[in-house]
Amino acid sequence: MTFKKMIAAGTLLAVAASAALPQTAAALDAKQKEEFGAFIKEYLLANPEVMLEVQEALAAKQRAKQQEAAQAAIASNEKAIFHSAYDMTLGNPTGDVTIVEFFDYNCGYCKRALSDMDEIIAKDKNVRFVLKEFPILGPDSVAAHKVSAAFRAIAPEKYGDFHRALLGGEERATEETAIAVAAKLGVTEEQLREKMVDAPYDSAVREAYSLANELGITGTPSYVIGNEAVFGAVGADEISTKVENMRSCGKTIC
C-alpha cells in the first residue's frame, strides 16, 4: 500500500470513528471539521480508485459472511438438501459427488445452465445431480412446477426428458405448457390433475423455500456442492472444478 493510500485509509478510519463516536467528532471545532472534510474530498477526487478498493473489500467480506452462513445451513440440513424425497436425481444415483441445483422453469439463466448440467453428466459418470424445484418467478412458475411434481410421481423414469423439454422450451412455462410437454411423453392431463389432488406440491415447495432462505439463496440457478453454496450460473467448468476438488481434498476449494 502506498503512503497516500495509507493516509486515505487512516482518514477513512477516522471518519468511521467519528461517526461511531459522536464525542470524537464533537471535539473538533467548525474550522477543523471543514478542513478535515475538504481534505477527504480532495483526496478521494484525486484517488477515486481507493473507493473501488473499499467496495471490493466490503463485497469480499459480505461474500465470506454469506458463505459462512450457508455452510452452517448445509451442515444442519444435509438430509433435506441432498436426499429429499421431493427431488429428482439425474446422472449416477450412487455417484461419489452430489450437485444440487435450485431452479425455476421460467428462469432464463436456468435455461442456459441446462446445457451445463448435461455436459457435466455426459463427461463425469460418477456425478449425482439433484434437481430441486424452486418456483420464485410468479404464479406461472408455481403452476408449472406443480405439474412437474405430478409428472415425476407418475413417470419418474421420464422426468429427465420432461425437465429438458420444459426448461429448454422457448415458451413461458405455465400449467398449460407443462401439461402439453407431459402429454407428448405419454402422461395425460387427467392423470396429472388426479395426482395433483392426491399429492399436492405444497410440502415440497415449502421445504425448498425454507432451505433457500437458510442458505441465503435468492435467485436461480443456485447450487450446493459439498459444503459450499454456489450462487448463479457459473458454468460447467467451474462446477466441474469444484467436483474434482471434492474428490481430491473433500472441499470445493483445495
pLDDT digits (tens, 9 = 90+) for 175-191: 999 999 999 999 999 99
- Whether the pLDDT of residue 161 is over 80: the answer is yes
Prediction pTM value: 0.76
Q: Would you state the pLDDT for residue 176?
A: 98
Q: Would you state the pLDDT for residue 235?
A: 97
Reported as a pLDDT band with limits 50, 70 and 90, residue 4 is very low
β partners of residue 225: 99, 228
Q: Would you state the pLDDT for residue 65?
A: 77
Give CA–CA dist 242/97, Å, rounded. Answer: 10
Taking CB atoms within 8 Å and a gap of at least 24, the contacts of 209-215 are 209/134, 211/73, 211/77, 211/80, 211/81, 211/132, 212/102, 212/134, 214/73, 214/76, 214/77, 215/70, 215/73, 215/74, 215/81
Residue that wins the pLDDT comparison between 93 and 20: 93
Residue showing cell 445431480: 129
Average pLDDT rounded to a whole number, residues 95-111: 98
- Whether the pLDDT of residue 146 is over 70: the answer is yes
- Structural domains present in the chain: 3-76 (no CATH), 78-249 (3.40.30.10)
Cell numbers given for 218 = 435468492
Cell numbers given for 52 = 473501488
The chain-wide mean pLDDT, for the chain, equals: 88
- Whether the pLDDT of residue 43 is over 90: the answer is no
3-state helix, strand, coil in the chain (%, to 5): 65, 10, 25
- In tens, the pLDDT along 204-249 reads 999 999 999 999 999 999 999 999 999 999 999 999 999 999 999 9
Give CA–CA dist 134/113, Å, rounded. Answer: 15
Residue 38 CB-half CA count within 13 A: 6
% of the chain exceeding 90 in pLDDT: 70
Strands 228-231 and 97-103: unpaired
> Of the candidates 98, 86, 236, 107, which has an alpha carbon nearest to the alpha carbon of residue 166?
107
Classify the phi-psi angles of 97: left when phi > 0, otherwise alpha if psi is within -120 to 50, otherwise beta: beta
